[in-house]
Structure 1
């Protein structure tokens, strides 16, 4: 039996096969949480779910937002497949029998 190292994100349970991708995903989720908090503090009446969806969208498109702020606003109108979203969905949906959850005090 082979041992496969995986990194699991605490925030959403997404699993990655390398530390760099896991840390990048975690930073994106932290940014999304902070954006959500900002939105909820400044926009009255927004639902928690809508705030979270907006925060996640903006965090995933952070590079495009930076370009838009530097004079290319049209970039936000382009549809792009989100790499992080696809990886997260794949990681969460896969039933990999090589990965076993850790159990404390066994």
Structure 2
């Protein structure tokens, strides 16, 4: 029997074959949690689920967001448009929530 080393992220239980990927994932989840906490402090009426979704979206796109903040705001729209094109042809994954649909739901709830 072979022994296979894996790294498990204690925040969500995700498993990784190398420490670098596990650390990167954990760092992204920590950023998402901190963003969520900030949003909930600043917007008390924000639904917890929506706050977590927004936090994850911003943390997952942190590199593009950082470049946009440094003077290239159009990158956010380009990223959004590029993500929307493959989304039209992808098969829904029932275990992974569709962040685009969640963002649209959040926008609709905020406008209500």
TM norm structure 1: 0.73
What secondary structure, in the 3-state scheme, does the structure 1 residue paired with 2:10 have?
coil
Map 1:12-91 onto structure 2 (within 5 A): 12-77=12-77, 78-79=79-80
Looking at structure 2, the residues matched to 28 and 34 of structure 1 have their Cα atoms a distance apart, in angstroms, of: 10
Relative to total residues, which structure has the larger helix share, 1 or 2? 2
Residue-by-residue CA offset, 1:2-30 (whole Å, 9 max, x unaligned):
11000000100100000000001001000
**Corresponding residue for 1:100?**
none
How far is 1:74 from its partner? Answer: 1.1
How many residue pairs get aligned? The number is 84
In structure 2, the gaps of 5 or more residues are: 84-92, 97-112
- Over aligned residue pairs, what C-alpha RMSD do you find? 2.0
Looking at structure 1, the residues matched to 38 and 71 of structure 2 have their Cα atoms a distance apart, in angstroms, of: 24
Poorly superposed stretches of 4+, deviation over 6 Å: none
Looking at structure 2, the residues matched to 9 and 60 of structure 1 have their Cα atoms a distance apart, in angstroms, of: 16
In structure 1, the gaps of 5 or more residues are: 82-88, 94-106
> Greater relative contact order (Cα 8 A, min sep 6): structure 1 or 2?
1
